[in-house]
Amino acid sequence: MKSTLKRKTGISPTASRIAQASLQLFNQQGERNVTTNHIARHLAMSTGNLYYHFSSKEDIIQALYQSYGDRMAWLLTEADARRHSLEELVVVLDAVLQHQWDYRFLLQSSASLFPFNAQLRASYQKFDVEQIAVGIESLFLKLREDGLFEGSVATIRMLAVHFHLLQAAWIAHPVRAGQSAATEQVVEDGRRQLLAFLRPHIAPAWQAAFERVASAPACLPALLALSGRLAGSERATLCC
């Protein structure tokens, strides 16, 4: 995925402020209800200053999607590295859900964004298919080899497809639209749904450990530590 921000000043503090403010407004008010004028007014800056860093609202959205995708890709590599520990896998899952909530407008507004933004649609399709879907399938097949999942290769591949769809769709459900619940509650709700979906495919030898982890609250210190490593791993990031 190519950055749209390396223009004139590169990733400047002002560009980061604009991206952060845009993300906040898109999440709170809905992307369609926010214009570049609203963003500039929110930041008490001129629209000319905003346009120096971003040529349009679509440019801002593309940059936010770049930031979203970079973190998702990093979290997939973390899941693979931590797959031998159920506890650590769930910490990564919590981080994924929190990250999705932080960028929820992208998932909740996809139906209105894609028809009018060909670049974003192409970026999403390439990233979603070539990195996320492939990465989840690879992880699930490794977990099958490790003994966590039981079932044929074909079954686990289908499980990965359905998990990917559920993981991407849960936050875009109408119940979530406009929700102002605390992030911690949203993460716990999402984790509960996804783990319940996986439960029937857990091998008997792992079921007791799985139930223990599934019923435990989010491990906030571990999640914060992972978030810190995540922020440190990214270069030229927009939103921290």
Per-residue pLDDT tens digits for 33-63? 999 999 999 999 999 999 999 999 999 999 9
pLDDT tens readout for residues 56-82 = 999 999 999 999 999 999 999 999 999
Listed residue (33, 186, 189, 10) closest to 109, CA to CA: 33
Name the average pLDDT for the chain: 83
C-alpha span between 180 and 178 (Å, rounded): 6
Superfamily of domain 61-233: Tetracycline Repressor, domain 2 (1.10.357.10)
8 or 99: whose pLDDT is higher?
A: 99
Compute the average pLDDT of residues 94-111. Answer: 87
Q: 162: burial class by Cβ within 10 Å (0-12, 13-18, 19+)? A: exposed
Q: What is the pTM of this model?
A: 0.82
pLDDT at residue 188, as a whole number: 84
Is the model's pLDDT at 1 over the cut of 50?
no
Domain 7-55 of CATH type 1.10.10.60: yes
Per 3-state DSSP, the chain is made up of helix, strand and coil in percentages (nearest 5) of 80, 0, 20
DSSP SS3 for 203: coil
pLDDT at residue 232, as a whole number: 45
Q: Is the CB of residue 107 less than 8 Å from the CB of residue 100?
A: yes
pLDDT at residue 4, as a whole number: 39
Q: Is the CB of residue 24 less than 8 Å from the CB of residue 43?
A: no
pLDDT tens readout for residues 149-177 = 999 999 999 999 999 999 888 777 655 55
Domain ranges for the chain, please list them: 7-55, 61-233
C-alpha span between 61 and 4 (Å, rounded): 10
pLDDT at residue 15, as a whole number: 95
